Amino acid sequence: MSGWKAVVLLIPFQFMFGLIYAWGAMAPSIHLATGWSASTLDLMFSLTPLVLLPAVLIGGHLVGRVGPRRVLQVATGSFVVGGLLALSGNSPQLFAAGYAGIALGIGGGLSTPACVALIHNIAPRRQGRLAGTLLAVYGLSGAVSGPLFLWLAHHAPWHTALAAVMGTYAVIAGLCLTRVRSGVNANGAARSERPLGHEPISLWQPILNIALLCATVPFGSAVFAAIGRLATEHGHTASLGVAGASIMSLANGAGRFAGGVLSDLISIPVAWCLILGLAVGGYIMALADARLGSPALFLLFAASTGLSFGALAGKLPAVAAHTSPSNPASMFSFYFGTFAFGSFGGPFLSAELGLPITMTVLGWATVIAFVLCTAQVLSSRRSAIPY
């Protein structure tokens, strides 16, 4: 099975678990139909990245034990079981546990490392761009799922519309799963050798990568959650906030693909610096826009932050293969789990500390991470030590 054929077969799984990104479009309709409070609906969104952290770690472990195809089967089963549980009653707690927790949290946590492992086994030299494509579809799928749900909800009750969307995705994914192969030989080993250009590195490298993610991901997620509010606080119209949110979402998807491609073309450390530099540029534009009130600066800030946030996720498969060539699936699970937890941390800090303080703290954390990363790359090049 070729790498791009594998990508096509795995795309339905990105639509299934990418439903989390359609929540912003779905929640108002569900609120009107059920009367569930806005805080309850926000909790449902936050529950998925919280559950993703342990689920993705378990998924990375299981991939090495039972193979990625079997893990995908379990992920699909979790999606179906969680969906049936969520739609079996009118309880918001039951819906949150089934939909956000089991279907998208556990299912998505198992699916992501399995998909990345399949790509690594089948096409390790192109895994950056191929896995980045899958992660881009995962991030952009909400642009399809949200309108699809809203169209169905105009013609049927909301739970029927959601059941139709989830059921369609599950059926298509199940059919694709029958054609998926794990990309291993008769002895169970990966079909191809370790990707070219990935030299053995020191054990402290994963710790550094996790620290960089912890320092930078929360800024992007905080902006994602509050981009509309930032527009009004900077003196812009609400319509510009909507435009900024749309641009940021599109940039997030493009960034996921670009991050994977970038990691195939240049060294991992230099890719880190470029992506973090883009995030710092976004923060500088936000500071300038807060003073000048320029719509152009605001949209550039949204685009830069979305691109860097997406690229951080898109480069993780290649970073995992770089830091753990013998077991990239498990290493990816640690990285993606950190990314998921950071995605929860940004909005959480904003709710606790307020948006201005959060933007300042997380913005400077990104600046410090960029400076330290750049200094490390320059130091390693001067000493001719591979980083």
pLDDT tens per residue across span 312-370: 988 888 888 888 877 777 788 888 888 888 887 887 788 788 888 989 999 999 999 99
Q: Give the mean model confidence (pLDDT) for residues 28-48.
A: 80
Total residues belonging to the chain: 387
Burial class for 110, CB neighbours closer than 10 Å (0-12, 13-18, 19+): buried
Q: How far apart are CA 367 and CA 23, in angstroms?
A: 31
pLDDT greater than 60 at residue 303: yes
Please give the pLDDT value at position 345.
82
Q: Which residue has the higher pLDDT, 109 or 37?
A: 109
Residue 185 falls inside a structural domain: no
Verify that 253 and 146 share a domain, yes or no: no
What is the pLDDT, as a whole number, of residue 198? 43
Domain holding 235: CATH number?
1.20.1250.20
pLDDT in tens, 177-222: 998 876 543 333 444 434 434 444 556 788 888 999 999 999 988 8
Alpha helices, H only, 141-184: 142-153, 158-177
Indicate the pTM of the whole model. 0.75
Q: Does the residue 156 lie in any domain?
A: yes
Task: Give DSSP secondary structure letters for 335-366.
Answer: HHHHHHHHHHHHHHHHHHH-HHHHHHHHHHHH
377 and 266 within one domain = yes
Give the alpha-carbon dihedral of 335, 41, 308, 251, to 10 degrees.
Answer: 130
Q: Are 308 and 253 in contact (CB under 8 A)?
A: no
Q: Which range of residues forms the domain containing residue 119?
A: 3-177
Structure tokens at 264: 């195939």
Residue pair 124/321 in contact (Cβ under 8 Å)? The answer is yes
pLDDT in tens, 218-230: 998 888 777 877 8
> Domain boundary at 177, 192, 212, which?
177
Q: At what angle do helices 355-383 and 268-292 cross, to 10 degrees?
A: 150
Tokens of 343: 């995605």
Q: Do 109 and 142 form a contact (C-beta atoms < 8 A)?
A: no
Q: Is residue 72 part of a domain?
A: yes
Q: What is the mean pLDDT of residues 119-139?
A: 80
- Does 217 lie in the same domain as 118? no
Same domain, 9 and 146: yes
The three state secondary structure string of 257-322 is HHHHHHHHHCCHHHHHHHHHHHHHHHHHHHHHHHHHCCHHHHHHHHHHHHHHHHHHHHCHHHHHHH
pLDDT at 101 over 60: yes
Answer for the pair 236, 293: CB distance below 8 angstroms, yes or no.
yes
* Integer Cα distance of 59 and 117 in angstroms: 10
Task: Count the domains in the chain.
Answer: 2
Q: What is the pLDDT of residues 234-264, one digit of tens each?
A: 888 878 887 887 788 888 888 888 888 887 7
CA distances for 267 relative to 261, 272, 297, 368, angstroms: 11, 9, 31, 21
